[in-house]
Chains A and B, each alone.
Chain A
């Protein structure tokens, strides 16, 4: 029988937890659901992991480990958990996770109830109820604590004051939606002229664009003490727009385009990251260096103005997902970027692994340049790290986020040093969320094998296939000219089909819905192509009753100039119709139907629509009279307000607008390429081949984006600066296109003349809520 160590409290209620012991009993007996408060005391004793002074941690633990030896390799010298030879063994908090894919920080204070209890995270502050009765044990989240030195010191209490009941939610959106659809609602008071925000004179705006950052993750990490700069700047001194959403598909280039133009894709023309250029007969991968600058040229050729056009002599940036080669401010250019990048990452091949560090180094230069008033810094590493670890931002991406906080601190410090901080507005936003990692690990679905090959017997060109001598995933025996294309992967793919039938070889224009509904196959028969892509895999039709296991959430296809069809199954479909109202604003109508066929009478449904609105409690709560709502057309803003608490917030307008082009058409700027079918992945699935033939690696699929549901579309949006409300969470919904008009307002410019799709966000300003 082993005698367990049991420390006496160093003072009443205060315990010392040694860092070199896995567990220690506090001797405090807890009843089931008894209140428990554990707090690290002020000026905590620190634990030196493996006795190294470079590895000092407090009870909150760490996601980062400073290198202790040679410094030649690795620019930041952050190591991950296996730095000190602890590759074997497991972390007590997450024994089933690999070392580099953990949600909880290493070497933090942990607890359990009873000798065999399930460990839980304590960190520097824990407040909750005991999950079971027994004695409280405390320990360190370390697989091999024996060589540690030092200890944690914490205070334990068996009671804490209850938080006040939260006020019932009553948002601007609810008010508006109710008054829209409730004929009995009192008439609104006559409109008064809106008070306008008063931005500070000679303002600067710094936009920190963190690729794929989930708002729930960054706030959780801040709460645990791992994002101190973010916490101070945005949670304590700023406002969080909790219901901000990306446009669909929730991909980087489409959302970046909406961010910098303030327009939806029907007016900026950027539909996908990769596409088949129907005019030039060429597959364009917008994520490759080869096409860097292409999207900027295309947008310019369409006559669309971007943030660098609106602030022509005062916009500065580090590298962006795309940008023109011509700088706005002379010194802030791509040659300088490359120079900084090489000298930060040590060598060119390393730049892609050190992008955040490189971008921050350039950002510090940009912040030092007085001519730059509007600055945009893209930090893409979070997205990459999320895609490369199974649990994404609930795992291996967290060290990247902790480093991002340090990057933010460097930018703020430089602005303070240059006396620019007090008149600077900060916006931290992401282009989209990320799906997976929390409760599910994504699986791959290869639409090329499962549909193109299995049912259409076609060759396919895409972004992932790169096999010499041809870059086409060939169907064995198919004629060379039988070619289709797939744009993008992640959670949304665009399908490009030859006109009319698989052998027409004509990809120069898209198919009409009629053509796709009677699409010619290789054997001379016909099939509904939309149905094939939405409902079939190589094993045949997915079971109709259980749609939860399907990789495809739904497909979208254009029916006519103003209408698209959402196709989940043959019995779960919806039409989205668009029209312009007398004010020139688009309005949309959502009609759930089954078995849509051109020219046939519609068969309405009252449950099971593709976006789930008919069965959504949140939608019914928001829209009191659903049938009446569905009878009418509503603007995109109204739809966003009506659906922002559902699983598919604000999709109705963006899905329709995706298939439109309402911009310039000239010889140099043809109608932007769009696919015949746009497909979205279901939760837990990603459109990516299991066999990655783009390179020789078979990395994990990680968490992804592009999908239409909330997890992938809810983006981070935090604001801080002079006159901005502090420490508030704003519930009213907004979206990506609202960024640019808000920047206009901060810079004292009137966004009205620019005729943007978005609107300035008023609720962030003090006195205007």
Chain B
């Protein structure tokens, strides 16, 4: 069995245990007070007695399966920089300072003070697209495990941003080359580049949109699955408490 297969089996087992165990991690039986239906004159028309209800959902609990699922997904987003900041802040008294992140922001702010010209934009754009400071713990581990495997560096949105950087850099080159050409404007006329630019923009935004949509659908799908487990669990408990 390869390491990859082992990893898949591990995640599947973890997910199953989460659904089976988490769905029934807690419940609460609620017995609503009877409803007395009366008339304005003070008479009682009827009394409605409610059965006991089983609550197996607690949106505020850290241990609710929905929350556990969200936190597991969230773990994939945690930056190395954030963990470094947490460690440093944990060791120093006083308010939280986030020294590494603030240091990066300081560099970005300082860079933004440079004159707005093509080389500055191109270099800045590249750093933004690569987003080294946003490297997550999981991605960092991947890179450490297989530093020569290009897939270790793959992040969907970063790839999209890199295509945008290439696109914008070509635009800068086209503008610069326009100064050398005998005709006014850009080297390749805007009439020709505009539809291409629109197409590239549309595709890039569409790619991000697709990514977010799929992410959301999967997330909602997992929530519905957890709901089903909780409903089944509540139904079973209900058999015992309704009497």
Contact = CB atoms under 8 A, between A and B. Distances in A.
Nearest to B234: A468
B168 to A, nearest CB: 10
Interface stretch (B69-77, B146-154, B184-192): B69-77
A331 B128 contact: yes
Contacts of B233: 468
A418 B213 CA distance: 33
Interface in B49-108: 49-51, 53-62, 67, 70-71, 73-75, 77-79, 81-82, 86, 89-90, 92-96, 105, 108
A559 B90 CA distance: 64
A467 B50 CA distance: 13
Contacts of A364: 105
Contacts of A539: 36, 38, 40
Interface in B145-190: 157, 160-161, 164
Nearest to A293: B216
B10 interface: no
A643 B58 CA distance: 44
Interface residues of B, number: 77
Contact of B95 (A67, A330, A334): A67
A375 B109 CA distance: 19
Interface size, A (range): 35 or more
B45 to A, nearest CB: 9
B132 interface: no
B196 to A, nearest CB: 16
B17 interface: no
A322 to B, nearest CB: 12
Given A66-B95, A71-B90, A349-B70, A327 B231 contact: no
Interface in A538-568: 538-541, 543
Contacts of B60: 695-697
Contacts of B92: 71
A71 B95 contact: yes
A336 interface: yes
Contact of A327 (B35, B71, B208, B232): B208
Contacts of A66: 94-95
B96 A467 contact: no
A349 B109 contact: no
Contacts of B28: 696
B57 A466 contact: yes
Interface stretch (A227-235, A274-282, A339-347): A339-347
Nearest to B50: A476
B49 A72 contact: no
A334 B205 CA distance: 12
Nearest to A370: B116
Given A335-B157, A417-B109, A454-B35, A467 B234 contact: yes
B209 to A, nearest CB: 4
B234 A347 contact: no
A521 to B, nearest CB: 13
A675 B242 CA distance: 34
Q: Is the interface of A mostly helix, strand, loop or mixed?
A: loop
A538 B109 contact: no
A695 B61 CA distance: 9
A342 B26 CA distance: 26
Contacts of B56: 468
Contact of A453 (B35, B38, B77, B96): B35
A540 B164 contact: no
A338 interface: yes
Contacts of A331: 128, 161
A325 B208 CA distance: 8
A331 B134 CA distance: 13
A616 interface: no
A324 to B, nearest CB: 8
A540 B39 contact: yes
A72 B210 CA distance: 36
Contact of B70 (A75, A77, A324, A348): A348
A231 B57 CA distance: 43
B134 to A, nearest CB: 6
A449 interface: yes
A292 B219 CA distance: 12
Contacts of A470: 231
A349 B71 contact: yes
B235 interface: yes
A468 B57 contact: yes
Nearest to B206: A326
A327 B94 contact: no
Interface string A448-475: 0100011100000000001111100001
A76 interface: yes
Interface string A27-63: 0000000000000000000000000001000000000
A513 to B, nearest CB: 25
B77 A342 contact: yes
A515 interface: no
Contacts of A168: none
A669 interface: no
Given A71-B92, A336-B157, A469 B232 contact: yes
Nearest to A544: B40
A333 interface: yes
Contacts of B211: 335
Contacts of A418: 109, 112
A222 interface: no
A697 B234 CA distance: 17
Interface in B209-241: 209, 211-213, 215-216, 219-220, 223-224, 230-235, 238
A325 B212 contact: yes
B95 A54 contact: yes
Nearest to B134: A339
B104 to A, nearest CB: 12
Given A339-B77, A417-B109, A453-B48, A290 B223 contact: yes
Contacts of A333: 157, 208, 212
Nearest to B77: A342
A469 B234 contact: yes
A335 B70 contact: no
A288 to B, nearest CB: 9
A324 B205 CA distance: 12
Name which of B96, B134, B161 has the most chain A CB atoms within 10 A of its CB: B96
Contact of B53 (A72, A325, A368, A467): A467
Given A330-B205, A343-B79, A476-B50, A71 B96 contact: yes
Interface string A245-275: 0000000000000000000000000000000
B78 A343 contact: yes
Contacts of B199: none
A68 interface: yes
Name which of B41, B128, B205, B234 has the most chain A CB atoms within 10 A of its CB: B205
A476 B77 contact: no
Name which of B58, B74, B75, B78 has the most chain A CB atoms within 10 A of its CB: B74
Contact of B86 (A72, A313, A695): A72
Interface string A724-735: 000000000000
A599 interface: no
B32 interface: yes
A694 interface: yes
Contacts of B201: 313, 330
19 contacts: A70-B90, A71-B92, A71-B96, A77-B96, A326-B205, A326-B206, A331-B128, A333-B157, A343-B77, A343-B82, A348-B73, A468-B234, A470-B231, A540-B40, A694-B57, A695-B57, A696-B55, A696-B60, A696-B61
List the 4 closest A-B pairs by CB distance, nearest first. A468-B234, A348-B74, A540-B40, A326-B209
Given A72-B89, A538-B37, 16 more contacts: A67-B96, A69-B93, A71-B89, A76-B96, A289-B223, A325-B209, A327-B209, A330-B204, A335-B208, A343-B77, A449-B35, A469-B231, A469-B235, A543-B40, A695-B55, A697-B58
Interface of A: 54, 66-72, 74-77, 289-290, 292-293, 313, 324-327, 330-331, 333-336, 338-339, 342-343, 346-349, 364, 368, 417-418, 449, 453-455, 466-470, 475-476, 538-541, 543, 691, 693-697
